[in-house]
Amino acid sequence: MRKILILAGGGGHTGYAQILAEGLKGRAELSFLAPDDEPISVKRLEGYGPVMTMTKPRHPTTPALSFAWRLIKAFYQALNRVPSGVDVVVSTGSNFCVPPAIVAWIRGIPVVNLESRVKFTKPSETASLLRRFSRLTALQWEEQRVFLEGRVFGPLLPRRLVEPRDGGYVLVSGGTYGYKELFDALDETDLENVVLQTGKIDGGSYAKAHPSWRVISYSDRFYELIAGARVVVSPPGGTPVEAVAYGKPVVVVEYPPWTRAADPEETRLFAERIGASLIIEVTADNLVSAIEESQRRPPRALEAGNEELVEAILSIAGHDHV
């Protein structure tokens, strides 16, 4: 059985890793690298194979000097965590993946790099760099052909683990790092049946002000909350796509202004592609209006690229490499 190392960059990138692991399970011997400060990533993947951890060079607010030191540390760690016996290394697209992917390339191990599902007008920094070292650049949308040479597979979609239901609540997700501007706008609404996922932001004040809300930091069974939601509200990334996979109305909110990914045009194109309502300016009124609008939109059917990409990875793993 071929050995495949999947680099899970945290957050939505770990979601990619989990989707691929589900397709590769039983067909290859899987192992993973994940950020050492994101235990939820480890928990999501440990059922598919052993998970090693290492430093993620840059988070959204990491200072430049700290980034340089963390990048050097990550390359050093990657030398000890990318074994020579691996048949292929799969990068899920975060800056976390750069050091181990380059180490794999130096050792003659083929690299497959996945471009982000939220890129429509220009490549991500990781894809732009790793295309030089990758045997295959996997694209998720036809639009990505314009700025990256690669093969289009279609979006990676999670399989349904539970049946969708209508629990009546609005699920608002801030992702790994949280989204205070979105939470503050939500705080000003009269919405009562809300599940709020706050990430690294302390949600205590929101829980205290709204006793009817359910406020959580993370959940390793987040799919159950998506499956039961009336509407899902989130910045671009894995959560909106997972909501579409469960047939849920979606509101896509522009990224927090402090993130490197913030780009209104990219966000607009992403929302259009998945059939979601859109908020660029985050206010309470815009939030309530978009939630109401989303429920009038028919769910968008997307054709998953999961199986075709899994077969391509296995094909590359099956060829001898130097």
CATH topology of domain 169-294: Rossmann fold (3.40.50)
Please tell me whether the overall predicted TM-score, pTM, comes out greater than 0.85 for this model. yes
Asked whether 41 and 7 are in contact (CB, 8 A), the reply is no
Low-confidence ranges of the chain (pLDDT < 70): 320-322
End-to-end CA distance of the chain: 19
Asked whether 172 and 186 are in contact (CB, 8 A), the reply is yes
pLDDT of residue 320: 57
Residue type (1 letter), 282: V
List all residues 6 or more positions away from 44 whose beta carbon is below 8 Å from its beta carbon. Answer: 14, 18, 220
Opening angle at CA 129, ends 124 and 134, nearest 5: 105
CATH class of the domain comprising 3-157+304-317: alpha beta
159 burial class (0-12, 13-18, 19+ CB within 10 angstroms)? Answer: exposed
Which residue in 2, 5, 9, 7 sits closest to 237, CA to CA? Answer: 9
What does 174-193 look like in DSSP terms, one character per residue? -TTT--HHHHHHHHTS---S
Alpha-carbon distance 269 to 271, whole Å? 5
pLDDT of residue 322: 44
Asked whether 32 and 17 are in contact (CB, 8 A), the reply is yes
Alpha-carbon distance 294 to 315, whole Å? 41
Asked whether 182 and 165 are in contact (CB, 8 A), the reply is no
Radius of gyration of the chain (CA): 19
Asked whether 130 and 114 are in contact (CB, 8 A), the reply is no
pLDDT of residue 201: 95
Q: Where are the domains of the chain?
A: 3-157+304-317, 169-294
What is the side-by-side order of every strand in the sheet holding 88-91?
51-54, 29-35, 3-7, 88-91, 111-114, 136-139, 151-152
Q: What's phi and psi for 210, nearest 5 deg?
A: -135, 80
Asked whether 30 and 49 are in contact (CB, 8 A), the reply is yes
Q: How many other CB atoms sit within 10 Å of the CB of residue 272?
A: 13
Do domains 3-157+304-317 and 169-294 share one topology? The answer is yes
What does 100-154 look like in DSSP terms, one character per residue? HHHHHHHTT--EEEEPPTT-SSS--HHHHHHTTT-SEEEESSGGGGGT--SEE--
